[in-house]
Amino acid sequence: MGKILVTGGAGYIGSHTCVELLSSGYEVVVVDNLENSSKKAIERVESISGKNLDLVIGDIRDEKILDKIFMNQMVDSVIHFAGYKAVGESVEFPLKYYENNVSGTILLLEKMKEYNVKNIVFSSSATVYGDPHEVPIKEGFPLKPYNPYGKTKRMVEMILEDLYESDKSWNIALLRYFNPVGAHESGLIGEDPRGIPNNLTPYITQVAVGKLKKLSVFGNDYPTKDGTGVRDFIHVKDLALGHVRAIEKIMEKPGLFCVNLGTGKGYSVLEVLKAFEKACKKEIPYSIEPRRPGDIAKCYADTNYAKEFLKWEAMFGIEKMAEDAWNWQKNNPDGYGDN
Ligand code: NAD
Ligand code: WQD
C-alpha cells in the first residue's frame, strides 16, 4: 500500500474516491483549492472511513504548494481530478478552462517528474468522443471533442501520451468517465453543484426537494427509444472503485492505458426521471423543451476492455443511483451548506 496524492479530492468524484482509497488501506493526501467544493466533504470522508487524510488547501497551479507536498510526503501515485468541468462555461470562458485544466496539469506533471513520481491516473471524459458514429463506444473510436472543456480533456490525454513516449518509466491511466451520478449510501457526501445545476440528476433531485419548480427535458425528437437523450449513468461509488482498481493496475507498471468507465447501459432522460420518481416516492413535474445546443442523441460505453484489462465492472443499477442521490439530497437540501 502506498500514499496517493488526490488533486481535487474534496470534489464530487474525488471525495467518493478518497473513501474507497482509505477503506482499501491507502494513505491519502488531498490538494484542493475548494473553489468548487467544501472542507466538510473531507471531514465526512474521514468519518465514513474512520481514517484520517492530509488536506492541503491550495492550488495545483501554485508551484510552492506542489513542492511542499512532494518534498514532505512520500507520494507514490497521483489521482488527478482537479479542474473545471462545466461545458457551457467553457464555451464562454475558454482561456479559463485551458489555463486550469491544461496549464495546471502541465505544472503538476513537471513537479511529478522533478520528484520522480511517475504514476498518474487522469480524469478524462466520454466527451472526448464527441458525437460517436455508433454506440456502444469503444476506446479506439475517433476522438473529436467539440467544446473547449472536452478539448482540454483530450489535450491532457495527448500530453500524457507524448510524455509516455518520451519516457516509458511513466505509468499512466486515462479513465474516460461516462455520466457519474448518485452519492455515498451514508448520505454524508454527494454532488453539491454551485448555483442551478447543469446536469440532469442534481436538477431532478432539486426539483424533488422543492428548490426548483420543474425539470426541462431538452428535446424529445432524438432518434432514441422515447425521443429523449440516452446516456450511460454510472454510480459514483462504482467510479471510485474503478480508480482503486486503476491504482492497483498502476502498481503492476502497465505503461499507458486508456479505459472507459461506464455501465454499458443507456437510459433515456424519461427513464431516469421515472427511476427518481420511484426513489423519491413523488411525481416530478417536467416539460418538454427544445434541444440543448451541443447535446448528442446517444452515448454509452463498450465496457469489454475495462472488464478484461482492468478487471473492473460497475455493480450498481439506475435504481440504486436514484436512491442514493435522493438520500443525499433529502438529508442535505442545501448540499454542504457553504456554497
Ligand atoms: P468537482 O468540481 O466536484 O471536483 C473538482 C475539484 O477540483 C473541486 O473540489 C475543485 O475545488 C478542485 N479544483 C479545481 N481546480 C483546482 C486547482 N487549480 N487546484 C486545486 N483544486 C482545484 O468535479 P467532479 O465532478 O468531481 O470531477 C472531477 C474530475 O472528473 C474533473 O477533472 C472532471 O473534469 C472529470 N469528469 C467529471 C465528470 C462529471 O460529470 N462529474 C465526467 C467526466 C470527467
Ligand atoms: C444528460 C441528458 C440532456 C439537464 C455532461 C458533460 C460531459 C460529462 C458529463 C464531464 C442530456 C438532458 C439535462 C436538464 C435535460 N461531464 N438534460 N434537462 O450532457 O450527457 O454530459 O456531464 O466530463 O462532458 O457534457 O450530461 O447530465 O447535462 O445531460 O433534459 O436540465 O439529460 O439534454 O440528454 P451530459 P447532463
Q: How far apart are CA 112 and CA 80, in angstroms?
A: 12
Least Cα distance to 4 among 255, 247, 311 occurs for 247
Domain 3-181+234-262, what fold?
Rossmann fold (3.40.50)
Of 26, 84, 98, 149, which is the active-site residue? 149
List, for residues 243-287, the tens digit of each pLDDT value: 999 999 999 999 999 999 999 999 999 999 999 999 999 999 999
Which one of 15, 19, 36 would you pick to mutate in the ligand 1 pocket, going by the greatest count of ligand atoms within 8 A of its CB? 36
Q: For residues 12 and 83, is the Cβ–Cβ distance under 8 A? A: no
Compute the mean pLDDT over every residue in the chain, rounded to the nearest whole number: 98
List, for residues 290-301, the tens digit of each pLDDT value: 999 999 999 999
Q: How far apart are CA 254 and CA 263, in angstroms?
A: 24
Q: Which residues pair with residue 77 across a beta bridge?
A: 4
Least Cα distance to 85 among 37, 48, 38, 120 occurs for 37
Residue 339 has pLDDT above 80, yes or no: no
- C-alpha 39 – ligand 1 centre gap (Å): 15
- C-alpha 225 – ligand 1 centre gap (Å): 32
How far is C-alpha 94 from the chain's CA centre?
A: 20
Which one of 177, 224, 291, 295 would you pick to mutate in the ligand 2 pocket, going by the greatest count of ligand atoms within 8 A of its CB? 295
Contacts of 109 (CB under 8 A, 6+ apart): 120, 159, 160, 163
Q: How far apart are CA 164 and CA 141, in angstroms?
A: 21
Stretch 120-133: mean pLDDT: 98
Find the residues whose C-beta lies inside 6 A of ligand 2. Answer: 85, 87, 125, 127, 179, 198-200, 203, 215-218, 229, 231, 269, 292, 295
Instruction: Read off φ and ψ for residue 154, nearest 5 degrees.
Output: -65, -40
Find the residues whose C-beta lies inside 6 A of ligand 1. Answer: 8, 10-14, 31-37, 59-61, 81-83, 85, 100, 104, 123, 125, 177, 180
Least Cα distance to 300 among 179, 174, 143 occurs for 179
pTM: 0.99
Tell whether omega for the bond before 136 is within 30 degrees of 0, i.e. cis. Answer: yes
Say whether 115 sits in a helix, a strand or coil.
Answer: coil
* Long-range contacts of the stretch 65-69 (C-beta < 8 A, 24+): 65/31, 66/31, 66/107, 66/108, 66/111, 67/111, 69/5, 69/29, 69/31
Give catalytic status of residue 305 as yes or no. Answer: no
Residue with the smallest CA separation from ligand 1 atom 13 is 82
Instruction: Read off φ and ψ for residue 176, nearest 5 degrees.
Output: -100, 105
- The cell numbers describing 37, all together, are 467544493
List, for residues 177-187, the tens digit of each pLDDT value: 999 999 999 99
List, for residues 10-63, the tens digit of each pLDDT value: 999 999 999 999 999 999 999 999 999 999 999 999 999 999 999 999 999 999
Which one of 218, 273, 298 would you pick to mutate in the ligand 2 pocket, going by the greatest count of ligand atoms within 8 A of its CB? 218
Residue 166 has pLDDT above 90, yes or no: yes
Least Cα distance to 199 among 8, 9, 21, 13 occurs for 13
The residue type of 143 is L
